[in-house]
Structure 1
Amino acid sequence: MNSRQKKTLAVVFKDPVPGTLEWVDIEGLLVAVGCQIIEGNGSRVRFEKDGELESFHRPHPAKEAKRYQVRAARAFLIRLGIEP
C-alpha cells in the first residue's frame, strides 16, 4: 500500500463519514489490499477477496463517493481484517 492509499484508509475510518472522498481512491485502496474487481452492468462493480464479496454502484455524475458507500467500504474492509 502506498502513502495515498494509507491516507484513504485513514479517511474511510474517520468519523463523521466524509462526503468528499473520491470513488477512484476507494477503488484504488480496495485493489491495493488484494481485491479483484468484477465489472457489472452500467455503474455496478463488485469486489472480491478471500470469498468475501461486496457490491457497489459507482457514483455518477459526481466523482465523490456517497457517505453510505464510504460506510459500506469501511464495513467490507473490517470483514477483510483491514483497519488503520
Structure 2
Amino acid sequence: MNNRHRRTLAAIFADPVSGTIGWAAIEGLLMAAGAQVIEGRGSRVRFEKDGEVATFHRPHPAKEAKRYQVRDARAFLERIGVTP
C-alpha cells in the first residue's frame, strides 16, 4: 500500500463521512488491500476477499463516491481487517 492509498484510507475512516473522495481512489485502495474485482453488468462492481463480498455501483456521471458508498467501503475494509 503506497502513500496515496494510505491517504484514501484515512479519508474513508474520517468523520464526518466525506463526499469528495474519488471513486477511482477507493477502487485502487480496495485492490491494494488484496480484494479481487468482479465486473458486473453496467456500473455494478463487486470486490471479494477471503469470502467477504461488497457490491457497489460506480457513481456516474460524477467521479466522486457518494457518502453511502464511502460508508459501505469502510464497512468492507473493517470486515477484511484493513484499518488506518
TM-score interval, smaller chain = over 0.9
Give unmatched runs, 5+ long, in structure 2: none
Q: Aligned Cα RMSD in Å?
A: 0.3
Amino acid in structure 2 at the alignment position of 1:42: G
The corresponding residue for 2:27 is: 27
**1:49 is aligned to 2:54:** no
Distance in 2 separating the partners of 1:77 and 1:9: 9
Counterparts of 1:37 and 1:53 in 2: how far apart (Å)? Answer: 10
Give the partner amino acid of 2:83: E
Q: Write the distance in 1 (CA, Å) between the matches of 2:34 and 2:76.
A: 13
Q: TM-score, normalised by structure 2?
A: 0.99
Identity %: 70
Aligned residues: 84
Aligned residue type for 2:53: L
Structure 1, unaligned runs of 5 or more:
none
Partners of 1:35 and 1:78 lie apart in 2 by 13
TM-score relative to the length of structure 1? 0.99
Question: Does residue 2 of structure 1 match 2:23?
Answer: no
Code of the aligned partner of 1:59: P
